[in-house]
Structure formats: C-alpha cells, structure tokens
Structure 1
C-alpha cells in the first residue's frame, strides 16, 4: 500500500491540544516503511509547505489512499479536487464525540472517516459515510520513564485544561489536594472557585510535551479526568464518549501510575484489575486517591503492568499497522480503488 498523509496544519511547535500528534504519526509511518516491504509513505505538511506542491506531490507519488489528519485546515475545495483523482481520501478526526456537529459538515467531501471514539462510528455510518474506529496511541520515544529533579515531583498531578467537570472535581477535592503535594498544569484554572486556595499548586498555562513527561514521571498519582461528552455544546445528540484519551497511553508509557475516568473501551485496552486503575465519579476518585497514596507497591506494580501493555499494544506503530489492515480490507474503499486513478 502507498499512503499519502496530509498533516493537520496545527503547527509543529508546541500548541495547546494534541500538539505533537502529527510528528508522532509521521515518525511511526516512516518506521513502518523501513520494516514493511509492501508499504510506502509520503506526507505533506499543511501550512508549512506551499499549497501548490500538494497536487504535484500526490500525482508523483501515486498513492493508494490519502489520509488527512483532523482536516480543519484543509479546504473542502481541495478535498473535492483530490476526489477527482479517484483515490480514496479519508479524514482522521480526534475530537469525537465533543465536536460531532462540526465534524458532520467537515467529513462531507471525504470518502471515509477514521474516528478515535468507538461510539461515534455509528453517527457517521448513519449518515452514509463509511467510518472505522482507531484509538489514539503514544510515541514511546517521547513518553518514557526517566529520573527527574525534585521540582517535578508530586503526590498528585494533573495536566490538562479546566473543562467544567474538572473544575467541579478540583473545587470539591480542594481539602484533600491541599493535604498533599499537588501540581495542576494547564489553562483556564482561574475559573476555580477555590483558585486562591489552590493557586500555589497551579501552573496556569500549557507546557510542551517534553515538560509534561517530567511531571508524569515525578508523580505518585497522575489524575486522568476525562471531559464530559458535550462540554463544548457541539454534540447535540449527547453521544457518550467510549474510548479513553491519548493521555491514557502517554501516562502509561512513562511507567507512571494513573487514576483514569472509567470509559466503556478501557477494559478492551487494559486489564482494570492489574493494569489500569479507574474511577466512577467523584467519591470513588477521592477514595482511590487516599488508598493508592498509601499503597506504594500496589501502585508501582500496576504502573509497571500498564507500561508493558502499552509498549506491546498501544504505540503508534502498532496502531497504524492496524489502520493499514482496516484500509486494505474495507469493502467500500476497494470499490473506489477498482476505478482507474486520474492523475
């Protein structure tokens, strides 16, 4: 298979949200090109390379499939022109179900959709759009165990933006957080009712992945509090999210212990008894923070198990090999490929 990848156009320097996924995906595809004899890869860095190069590069590469990551910065007119080449072109969206209303319009010119949330697949298929599920993953070259200085060490750590459910959790947990060395990193935390009490614990700004890794490695417990499904009011059907976020894999790849929101797909990805500690609601989270802070061996054993499972099953190389399998065997994509390409 010959795959052509169009980056998100969100930039390769640090930005707030999923900032380094393009780099991670491109690196994994290049590794696969070296190890898989029948796979060839090329890419276009949207908003980094001149737009006129896109069409000539695709014509010269002659791909079997084109994949656009996120798609928000690739004009629909460009996708329509690429469709005329009779090469299957799909978009990989990574904000489902939070942005389903926006994505419903975004995906229209594409032949197919790849979504990171399993419970969103039906949404696209019900609208006549072929869709497959592919969770996000981790680049273990970036997220890995390391020794860190004291300034990165904590009892409780959270990295992420202050979405409403997280604000509620941290406001309610303030007495517990203040009894321990707590670090909260991200944007919008001034919205906390207890901001003045907690501000000594808060770095109220995003930080680059290279720093995130250090805080994960220095924490006894990393909290992975998932967003609620419609916190942006862009999911009018209120479709619940089923698949864990990318932080799940990134924290685990650091061999750090995490307490993660329970989601339906978690048990398909990790053993909840031995690999991944989860919580269902605020009271459960409070109870488990107290428990695991006082059970070091159990905490460290679970983190080690999750680390091994992540390297085995949840790296981007493993994930993208599965994507190639999906693309090769999707019946509707085979129908598009059966027509001669117009290059």
Structure 2
C-alpha cells in the first residue's frame, strides 16, 4: 500500500522526541508499505493548538491555510508519480483545513487520522475528524463522542515498537522509578511513597518545581512579597497567586500541591527516548499512572490506557500501574503486569515485590512475552487496516 504520512515527531512539541516517528511511521515502513512523509516543519504548528488563546488563535488563522496548501501540493505530486492509497496523519484542527481533507478524498485517496488525547481534548480535533474516512481512537469510552460529531471511529489501542522499546543489559540500579510529567496527583503520590520509606526516583518535565530547595526559595519570595506594602508589590498580587515581574512563571497561592516538597536528589529532568527505555531496564519496579486528567479532590478523574502500559513491558521492565478494567483486555493482571487500587495498596505491593525477586522476574518476563506477541504497532495497524478494508498489506515478520 502507498501511504502519505503526516505528523510531528512527538505529541508534545515541548520535548525533543521521536515518539510518533518511532511508533507510527516506522512500523508502517516495517510492514512493507511505500510510505511518503510530509516534508514540513510542524513543530511550531503543534505548539499552537488552542483557539481559546488569542495569541495561538491568531497564529492558527495564518498558519493553517499555509500547511494545508503545502500538504495538498505534496500529496498531488506524490499521487501523480504513483497513486496514493491512504493519507495517514496525526493532526489537530490547528494543522489542516477540513476542506483540504475533502480535497484529498476527492482524489480517490482514503484518509485516516490517529489521535490519542481525545479523553480530555476531543475539542482539538472536532472540526477535522468528521472529514476523515476514519479516525483511529485508543479511548474506547470516547467512541460514542466521535460518532456524535459525525466522525467514523475505529477503536485502535496504543502499543509499542519492539525495535525501539527493548531490554538493555544494564545493572539494576533503582528500586522504584517513574518517568513522566509532574501533574495532577502524581507529586502527592510520590511524596506518599517517600513518607513510607520507599526509595523512589522520578524523571520528567515539571518535577524540579517540587524540590525542597525550590520550595524554600519560593517561600522566601512569598514572604518578602507579602511583607511588602508598596504599590508595586500590591500590583503583583493575583487571584491565583503572585505574578513575578519579568517572568512567565506564576508563584502559586497556598494550596495542597504547593506544600509538597521532595528531595532534589530524587528528581531528574527530561530523558531522551533512549535514556527512558534504558531506565526501564535499570529499575526493579517501573511505576505508571492511569489518570490523564483531574484529581481525587475534585472528583472528576479520567482514567485511560496509556503508552507506558505497553512501552515498559515491551522493554522487559517490571510494570506496576493503577488498575482500570480496560487493562484486563491486554494483560493478565498479577501475572504479566501488577496493578494497585489506591496509595496504600501501591505501597504494600511495592514492598512485597521488592522482597520477592523471583516473582517479580516471572511477571517481568511474562509481560515482555505478551507485548511481543500481541501489542506491537504492527499488529494494531494490521487490525485497523483490515477493518478499514485496506487489505492489500505486505505480511512481514518483524524481527527484534
């Protein structure tokens, strides 16, 4: 099949990552398809997605037609050289005009969009989704919402590329680790582990602001600001906290999260793709969080299956994640991965598996075997293309 592929390299343009190129583009090539990649720098486009922000809305109104025009130019050229069967994208509304998708379809090219943030950001693709022939949707509970906006969804869960996510022969250096952003209830849970004498380390965006040193500096600044009675100081007071002149950072008002202080020695920065995968091999227990939005305190948590649920076992890492029913469709809980139900259950299971190396090793190996067998992107695409009726696939055995 001849496929025209369009996406940025990562869903989070703040990170230098090849996540989507590794997990979407490369498996399509591995399957033997003739894949033509959209030659366009999309980083700035993926940094401006929110039309509710006036600055981003202005950029989108200027940029969206430009991207669409160039997309059509390149697809027409590729189609003229040799007929294109499928346009495959990871696009937001901000990336392309709906009319451009319609024009691609008018050429006789089938269209499909992959998107994995529909759990809490469906509004960012609600304009373009109805114009694609299909939308690949990993959030099962959002299928009906895609139907409501006139789209044609196909349930296609996330996975991992075994050529990228693989075990490394490295010393096991850490008891418990988490790789990912600091948001929601994650900092509070990590603090709870520390309070229960669990040796945990974290890496990722945002953890530095929870360091005890950073908190001490912030407390000192807050103290000085609150003690200042000048007109200039009073102007810095905002309803949600203090805005420091000449800085984009807001000092939060007093709340539960701002009270969390973690030792700087346990906090790491953003890892490269390869560093992250190697960390899975360097850790006895790799943690995962199923919450993608909301907190317990406001009672609107949204749980979903995540990329990590496949990346870590595919890398032959022992994986422990918050239980959600959908996980049972992909793993045998307790035998291939381990799930916890709350913070106390998490603590108890961490302590248990740190003491039982043999059990941990059996689960680690079983999770790895299951992922290799069932949870590659290659398998996902084969199933999705079958449902789409795009059956002219090249059936290759993927070696890892």
SS of 1:62 mapped into structure 2: coil
SS of 1:164 mapped into structure 2: coil
Structure 1 residue 239 displacement after superposition: 9.1
Q: Retained in 1: the 8 A contact 2:6–2:89?
A: yes
CA–CA distance in structure 1, aligned partners of residues 306 and 333 of structure 2: 16
Work out which of the residue numbers 218, 223, 245 in structure 1 matches 2:287. Answer: 223
Q: Which residue of 2 aligns with 1:60?
A: 81
Q: Which residue of 1 aligns with 2:60?
A: none
Q: Which residue of 2 aligns with 1:202?
A: 267
| Alignment: residue pair count | 311
SS of 2:35 mapped into structure 1: strand
Work out which of the residue numbers 173, 188, 205 in structure 2 matches 1:187. Answer: 205
* Residues 24/287 of structure 1: CA separation in 2 closer, same or farther (3 Å cut): same
Structure 1 length normalisation: TM-score? 0.81
CA–CA distance in structure 1, aligned partners of residues 160 and 292 of structure 2: 22
Work out which of the residue numbers 111, 115, 126 in structure 2 matches 1:93. Answer: 115
Work out which of the residue numbers 295, 312, 325 in structure 2 matches 1:251. Answer: 312
* Residues 319/328 of structure 1: CA separation in 2 closer, same or farther (3 Å cut): same
Q: Which residue of 2 aligns with 1:212?
A: 276
* Residues 10/311 of structure 1: CA separation in 2 closer, same or farther (3 Å cut): closer
Structure 1 residue 302 displacement after superposition: 0.5
Q: Which has the larger displacement, 3-12 or 19-28?
A: 3-12
Structure 1 residue 165 displacement after superposition: 2.0
Larger Rg: 2
Q: Retained in 2: the 8 A contact 1:94–1:116?
A: yes
CA–CA distance in structure 1, aligned partners of residues 108 and 31 of structure 2: 25
CA–CA distance in structure 2, aligned partners of residues 280 and 180 of structure 1: 18
Q: Which residue of 2 aligns with 1:47?
A: 40
* Residues 16/48 of structure 1: CA separation in 2 closer, same or farther (3 Å cut): closer
Q: Aligned runs of 1:1-343 on 2, under 5 Å?
A: 2-10=1-9, 16=15, 19-33=18-32, 40-48=33-41, 51=71, 52-71=73-92, 74-76=95-97, 77-149=99-171, 153-176=173-196, 179-189=197-207, 190-191=209-210, 193=258, 196-203=261-268, 205-230=269-294, 240-242=302-304, 244-328=305-389
CA–CA distance in structure 2, aligned partners of residues 116 and 137 of structure 1: 10
* Residues 29/162 of structure 1: CA separation in 2 closer, same or farther (3 Å cut): same
Q: Retained in 2: the 8 A contact 1:112–1:129?
A: yes
Q: Retained in 2: the 8 A contact 1:7–1:22?
A: no
CA–CA distance in structure 2, aligned partners of residues 253 and 56 of structure 1: 38
SS of 1:53 mapped into structure 2: helix
1:264-305 Cα distance to aligned partner (Å, 9 max, x none): 221110111311101122222122111111111111110110
CA–CA distance in structure 1, aligned partners of residues 29 and 205 of structure 2: 33
SS of 1:98 mapped into structure 2: helix
* Residues 272/17 of structure 1: CA separation in 2 closer, same or farther (3 Å cut): farther
Q: Retained in 2: the 8 A contact 1:137–1:316?
A: yes
* Residues 261/3 of structure 1: CA separation in 2 closer, same or farther (3 Å cut): farther
